[in-house]
DNA sequence: CGATTGCTTGAGCGAGGTCAAGGTCAGTGG
DNA sequence: CCACTGACCTTGACCTCGCTCAAGCAATCG
């Protein structure tokens, strides 16, 4: 039994509302808790899952962050997602029963590990858990399609502004500051994700700082004019 | 009871393997059949679902095709998907219980209509149906994230080549010709989807024809050198 | 404390967007 | 059946945004 310390229980987890336990009653949470295991902490650059590996667990991010990426035919990394606390990692693996992307920690990261077989059983008996699974997957479908459209037809400035706004919103949903946060990914990661070069990312961050919209100190971002930034994202 | 004519049964549907009935036994298919209704045929430009409308049905495309799109803050249409026979429309609505995008027929289109409430009930009792739902959603998550990455870092030529290859593969999976098909969407639709201008789409199609890779006559596409086209997509 | 990785800034260039004009096709009504 | 109309497509000319190449600086890590 891995759940010996209190801080690993869903009840006490500040991410519960974004994660699997959403709208579960006390008993439901307890049942979920019994199958959830703690994963050993990842260090920066540790790889959580490899593409092609059989799907054994779904992972929930407790703290820290990860990037998911594929390696294309030319051996080039292609980042498809950044995961923050409360996010689940592994949905893309459900179809084939094996992971289709790599997931790597961007910093020290704590995870909950949910065995797929146990989850499958629980899902049968708990309609609200099933509903939340569907909800999370459906959201992911919409947001990635939305993003696709959004990025496709937008300038570099708009893309980066959009990226920052989205991050800001996600931090807010997690009870963290929406105006002041750390970029745990590198400029190259952002560029890769947004389809822009490192140089462009750097230049635009400088430009946004010059305009007084944000303040950037290395990894630290301060959004000075959130409304203005949101406008720039359109 | 809408299932009076034989051709609307899942058993006889050539798209069954791509659709909800996949890996269902005889009894499972029968049960699914009892809840599935036939939707009246859509004509070109008919709108099937509006963004914001409550989710009542999941739709399966029997024949024809649709595009799904959102309208952004500037009132601009942003195409996020094209649906071919066997595809399901409405997954993005499961999260919120209401549709998040518009879906419009690109040509005369026949649909099966699956009431969500009945589907929910069936899913509880039929593990393989649940599995297939998850599989379809998971695939959609992966493919849209994959596409995001793919398009982002690729040239206009590569994007369009990729688009044609993907269409070709999808037609093949549906038992149709992978080398000769009709583009039911306009050049503007393709451009919107790929983040390119109409002019660029037109120019590149002409260029590909000039190189002898494909032959284009209006909406009709003939892929002359599939391998070469696939190379160009990388 | 050096070495490596990550970030910034500048200069030049090319892919793809915009604007413009003309051509083609499908649907409609006479 | 044909003429008309509006939507759709193609091609050309020009210009701009963002990429590439290059060089130097800053931060992090062993």
Domains (range + CATH), chain B: 10-149 (2.60.120.10), 154-233 (1.10.10.10)
CB of A84 closer than 8 Å to CB of A65: yes
pTM for the model stands at: 0.86
All residues of chain A having their beta carbon less than 8 Å from the beta carbon of residue B234 are 72-74
Q: Is the pLDDT of residue A5 over 70?
A: no
Nearest CA in chain A to B126: A124
Nearest residue to B134 (alpha-carbon basis) of B27, B16, B20: B20
pLDDT tens, residue by residue, A183-194: 999 999 999 999
Model confidence at B5: pLDDT above 70: no
To the nearest whole angstrom, how far is the Cα of A70 from the nearest Cα of chain B? 8
Q: Which residue has the higher pLDDT, B151 or A156?
A: A156
- Asked if B23 reaches chain A (Cβ–Cβ under 8 Å), the answer is no
Give pLDDT, residue B7: 53
Contact list, B126 vs chain A (CB under 8 Å) = none
What's the pLDDT tens digit per position in B35-53?
999 898 899 999 999 999 9
CA of B199 and C1' of C16: distance in angstroms?
A: 10
State the pLDDT confidence band at B205, using cuts at 50, 70 and 90.
Answer: very high
Residues packed against strand C, CB within 7 Å? A 186-188, 198-199, 201-203, 205-206, 216, 218-219; B 155-157, 195-197, 199-200, 218
Taking all residues of chain A, what is their mean pLDDT, rounded to a whole number?
90
Name the residue among A127, A139, A153 with its Cβ closest to that of B195: A153
Per-residue pLDDT at B179 exceeds 90: yes
CB proximity A44 to B under 8 Å: no
B146 part of contact set with chain A, CB < 8 Å: yes
Instruction: Confirm or reject contact between B91 and chain A (CB < 8 A).
Output: yes
Confidence tier at A13 by pLDDT (50, 70, 90): confident
């Amino acid at each position: 039994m891995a759940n010996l310390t209190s801080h690993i229980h869903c009840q006490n987890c500040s991410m519960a509302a974004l994660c699997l336990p959403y709208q579960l009653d006390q008993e439901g949470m307890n049942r979920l808790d019994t199958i959830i295991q703690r994963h050993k902490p990842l260090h920066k650059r540790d790889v959580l899952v490899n593409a092609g590996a059989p799907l054994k667990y779904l992972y929930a991010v407790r703290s820290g962050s990860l990037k998911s990426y594929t390696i294309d035919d030319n051996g080039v990394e292609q980042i498809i997602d950044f995961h923050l606390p409360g996010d689940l990692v592994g949905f893309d693996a459900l179809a084939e029963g094996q992971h289709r992307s790599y997931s790597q920690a961007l910093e020290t990261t704590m995870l909950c590990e949910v065995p797929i077989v146990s989850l499958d059983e629980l899902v049968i008996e708990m309609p609200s858990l099933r509903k939340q699974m569907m909800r999370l997957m459906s959201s992911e479908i919409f947001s990635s399609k939305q993003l696709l459209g959004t990025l496709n037809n937008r300038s570099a400035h708009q893309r980066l502004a959009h990226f920052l706004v989205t991050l800001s919103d996600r931090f807010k949903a997690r009870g963290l500051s929406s105006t002041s946060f750390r970029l745990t990914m590198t400029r190259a990661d952002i560029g890769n994700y947004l389809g822009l070069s490192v140089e462009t990312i750097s230049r635009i961050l400088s430009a946004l700082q010059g305009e007084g919209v944000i303040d950037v100190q290395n990894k630290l971002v301060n959004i000075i004019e959130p409304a203005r930034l949101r406008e720039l994202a359109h």
